[in-house]
Amino acid sequence: MTVSDTLPAAGLPAATRPRRQTSLFLRRPFFTLALLVTLGFVVCALFAPQLAPYSPTEQSIEAMMAPPGGAHLLGTDSYGQDIFSRIIHGARYALLIGVVSVLIGALGGLVLGIAAGLASGWTEWWLMRLIDSILALPSLILAVAFIAILGQGVDKVILAVGFSLIGPFARTVRSDVLQVKVQLFVEAAGLMSIPRHTVI
């Protein structure tokens, strides 16, 4: 027996034990649980009319303060309204307000942050003071002020929450713009007479 017989041939991979590929959902159980709860919340919100056994505004004197049971899964309130149906229908408004208000805050913060990052002099100073003013006021006070001025309604709540989110988004976008402004490709584009805002 020679040495060449005992060693694996050159260029051929040695036999290795196959590595088990563990799924992300098994490696992170809390992530999986949070994802399932979120998906369940979204499904209930989207299909609330089909899933809710009662109308959220239906009242029944006979069923006032009924305990959880077969007829009412989570019981009823002091007006005889089914709590489970009200929670499912309330999830629709919560999902609508959450998604649309974040989109409004992200869009407004993106525009304001880019403008503050590209501006200079007094324009930058005034834009930053505007962002600081939004961040200085608590979001709850801003929401109450918006509703007091514009009136009640889901659309007013969306605008109030979205406006309170503009400040954090604008701060983040401005810091990213300031980092990109000093990159070499931006300076090279300026030498080729390409506007800086177009490159960024």
Domain ranges in the chain?
A: 27-199
* pTM metric for this prediction: 0.73
Look at the block and give the residue holding tokens 């007829």: 71
Residue with more model confidence, 57 or 23 = 57
Q: Which CATH number fits domain 27-199: 3.40.50, 1.10.3470, 3.30.350, 1.10.3720?
A: 1.10.3720
Name the pLDDT band for 170 (thresholds 50, 70, 90). Answer: very high
Look at the block and give the residue holding tokens 């007479």: 193
Q: Which two tokens stand for residue 47?
A: 């299909």
What is the C-alpha to C-alpha distance for residues 156 and 97, in angstroms, rounded to an integer? Answer: 10
Q: Which amino acid is at 22?
A: T
Q: Which of 178, 44, 58 is nearest to 124 (CA)?
A: 178
**17-55 burial, b for 16+ CB within 10 Å, e for fewer?**
eeeeeeeeeeeeeeeeeeeeeeeeeeebbeebeeebebe
Residue with more model confidence, 162 or 24 = 162
Name the pLDDT band for 103 (thresholds 50, 70, 90). Answer: very high
Q: Which amino acid is at 180?
A: V
Q: What percent of the chain has pLDDT over 70?
A: 86
Please provide the average confidence, as pLDDT, over all residues in the chain.
84
Name the pLDDT band for 110 (thresholds 50, 70, 90). Answer: very high
Q: Which residues, at least 6 apart from 192, have a Cβ–Cβ distance to it below 8 Å?
A: none
- The predicted model gives 52-71 an average pLDDT of 89
| Cβ count within 10 A of residue 73 | 13
Q: Which two tokens stand for residue 14?
A: 């040695």
For residue 134, pLDDT beyond 60: yes
Name the pLDDT band for 68 (thresholds 50, 70, 90). Answer: very high
Assign residue 114 a region (left: φ > 0; alpha: ψ between -120 and 50; beta: otherwise).
alpha
What is the C-alpha to C-alpha distance for residues 31 and 24, in angstroms, rounded to an integer? Answer: 9
> DSSP 3-state assignment of 174?
helix
**Phi, psi (5° rounding) for residue 181?**
-60, -30
